[in-house]
Amino acid sequence: MLSFFLPGLGHLYAGSIFFGLCTMVGTFLMVPLAMMVLVVGNAADLLPVLYVGVAIGWIAQIYMAYAAAEGADRRAR
């Protein structure tokens, strides 16, 4: 559930340090860059597509963090 609040945090908690850091850096770099392209490039009609893409990516990484935590829990037993 940590990934719900901050993308990549659930992976860090589960022990997937590299993937968690890549997710955090990717989120913090790509979202503002995509927004700048939309604003500067006058592509405001693509804004809903951007929001849907970000939402799908966020939900996918929440699930992947959950699966990583489950795997880490099974290995710890």
Q: Encode pLDDT of 16-39 as tens digits.
A: 889 889 888 888 887 777 777 777
User: What is the pLDDT at residue 23?
Assistant: 84
> In 3D, which of 48, 51, 19 has the Cα closest to residue 10?
19
Half-sphere exposure (CA, 13 Å, Cβ side) for 33?
Answer: 6
User: What is the pLDDT at residue 1?
Assistant: 67
User: What is the pLDDT at residue 43?
Assistant: 67
